[in-house]
A and B are shown apart, each in its own frame.
Chain A
Amino acid sequence: MLAARLIADQGIHVEGINFYTGFCVEGHTHAIRNQHRAKPKRNNALWVAERLNIKLHIIDVIEQYKDVVINPKHGYGANMNPCLGCKSFMVGKARQWMEQNGFDFIITGEVIGQRPKSQRRDTMPVVARESGAFDRLLRPLCARLLPPTLPEREGWVNREKLLRMNGRSRKPQMALAKQFGFRDYAQPAGGCCFLTDKRYSHKLADLWQSRGEKRYDLDDIMLLKVGRHLRPRANFKLIVGRDDGENNFLHGYRRQYVHMFPTSHKGPLVLVNGTADASDLQLAARLTARFSQGKEDEEVTVAVCNTEGGQQLVAVRPMSPAEIPGDWYL
């Protein structure tokens, strides 16, 4: 946002590109959950574009991004985040877009030293090289600490008006945002990507382990964002809705997964992910009962439904907390 404004202020036409990988955190991904419904449900990229009065192109890179996550060229960060490879990929995509749409150079909001792995002085040239953008990649917030790029050398951009930010502190950005009059300016550190989230990464690692290979599709990674995930046995896991919003979302998957819900009490919709035999389903039904309002009762009736719409009612004793080992929770 700040980088775009700095460049637009030099009278240069700027348009925004936002890549959707499937792992992006949006304020309203959480809107599925009832408790988050009151929060503003805005897409940050659209919000920023509107504030800056620029066009924004949201590009679906879900398919191509799989290789970035599955085979990270530079490894992972603290969690499953392949940040350096991801940046090269995104700048590479931006370069293609630039070439196809007659633009001259690319800007990013990177700052030297902001991130320990992916935004260091020595990784900046890696992104420029691997993306194929080379010296058409300009980082306005720290450009004066880096060698001049093509737009600076050609005089398209006045280097003197660019900045020399560096280090982890976000105070300089906040100060600049204030100077530009951006209220409500929020770019949480690493807060826009589920791959930096420890819990999410753990669930993704579990998914790959259970499959015996690193593979995912969009539904897989969407479902990792929703509900409580429990793996009682290696061959299946349960996704348990935590409120009506999540239950409704999970309900959309009823034709793809065996699922269950209590009929004698209020309670969650639960998807069974994997191959479960009769004893697995019995266990799953007892867990479903555990998360229902009948958890303290002797018996709860649970409807076990197949993907064709067939339904069977089973009466089960809810599991007690002592019967649920902590490591079942993913």
Chain B
Amino acid sequence: MSRHELDARRLLCPLPVIRVQEKVKTLERGDTLDVLCSDPGALNDIPAWCRINGHKLIDTRSEGHHITITIEVG
């Protein structure tokens, strides 16, 4: 189980979701991924994408204009 990071800042939705989708394909079950984004739409889209595809949302944090979403690959 390893921890990974994805920088999706400056990308507008749904590109952050697409990048997460691509990244998760390369990860193992139980790995965690921290996604950095700047489009607030990701706060809805990434959790929705996780629910549909059986991944777990661990945490979301906002700092100024930046958001970090942590997910666990299911």
| Min distance, Cβ A39 to any Cβ of chain B, angstroms | 11
Q: How far is the CA of A27 from the CA of B12 in the complex (A)?
A: 11
Q: Residues 131-142 of chain A: 1 if any B CB is under 8 Å from the residue's CB, otherwise 0?
A: 000000000000
Q: For residues 180 through 195 of chain A, which have their beta carbon under 8 Å from a beta carbon of chain B?
A: none
Check A58/B18 contact, CB under 8 A, given A26-B13, A43-B45, A49-B52.
yes
| Min distance, Cβ A19 to any Cβ of chain B, angstroms | 10
Residues of A with C-beta under 8 A to B53: 55
Q: For residues 1 through 60 of chain B, which have their beta carbon under 8 Å from a beta carbon of chain A?
A: 9-10, 12-15, 17-18, 21, 38-41, 43-45, 48-49, 51-53
Q: How far is the CA of A18 from the CA of B13 in the complex (A)?
A: 13
What is the predominant secondary structure among interface residues of chain B facing chain A?
helix
Residues of B with C-beta under 8 A to A45: 14
A60 touches B15 (CB 8 A): yes
Using C-beta atoms within 8 Å of the partner chain, give the interface range for chain B: 20 to 34
Check A46/B52 contact, CB under 8 A, given A28-B13, A58-B14.
yes
| Min distance, Cβ A59 to any Cβ of chain B, angstroms | 8
Check A27/B41 contact, CB under 8 A, given A20-B18, A252-B10.
yes
Is the CB of A115 closer than 8 A to any CB of chain B? Answer: no
B41 touches A26 (CB 8 A): yes
Q: For residues 15 through 56 of chain A, which have their beta carbon under 8 Å from a beta carbon of chain B?
A: 18, 20, 24, 26-29, 31-32, 37, 40-43, 45-47, 49-50, 54-56
Name B44's contact: one of A28, A222, A252 (CB within 8 Å). Answer: A28
Q: How far is the CA of A54 from the CA of B48 in the complex (A)?
A: 12
A46 touches B49 (CB 8 A): yes
B40 touches A41 (CB 8 A): yes
Number of interface residues of A (CB under 8 A): 29
Residues of A with C-beta under 8 A to B41: 26-29, 31, 41-43
Q: Residues 201-245 of chain A: 1 if any B CB is under 8 Å from the residue's CB, otherwise 0?
A: 000000000000000000000100000000000000000000000
A46 touches B17 (CB 8 A): yes
Check A41/B17 contact, CB under 8 A, given A28-B39, A46-B52.
no
A31 touches B65 (CB 8 A): no
Which residue of chain A is the closest to B49 with respect to CB atoms? A46
Residues of B with C-beta under 8 A to A20: 14-15, 18
Residues of B with C-beta under 8 A to A49: 52
| Min distance, Cβ A148 to any Cβ of chain B, angstroms | 32
Check A26/B14 contact, CB under 8 A, given A31-B40, A43-B41.
yes
Residues of B with C-beta under 8 A to A43: 13-14, 17, 41, 44-45, 48
Which residue of chain B is the closest to A43 with respect to CB atoms? B45
Which residue of chain B is the closest to A248 with respect to CB atoms? B65
| Min distance, Cβ B10 to any Cβ of chain A, angstroms | 5
Residues of B with C-beta under 8 A to A32: 12, 39
| Min distance, Cβ B63 to any Cβ of chain A, angstroms | 14
Binding site for A on B (CB under 8 A): 9-10, 12-15, 17-18, 21, 38-41, 43-45, 48-49, 51-53, 65
Binding site for B on A (CB under 8 A): 18, 20, 24, 26-29, 31-32, 37, 40-43, 45-47, 49-50, 54-60, 222, 248, 252
Question: Besides the contacts A20-B15, A28-B44, what 7 more A-B pairs have beta carbons closer than 8 Å?
Answer: A24-B14, A26-B14, A26-B41, A28-B39, A46-B17, A58-B49, A252-B38
A–B Cβ pairs within 8 angstroms, 12 of them: A20-B14, A24-B14, A26-B14, A29-B41, A31-B39, A40-B44, A41-B44, A42-B41, A43-B13, A45-B14, A56-B52, A59-B18
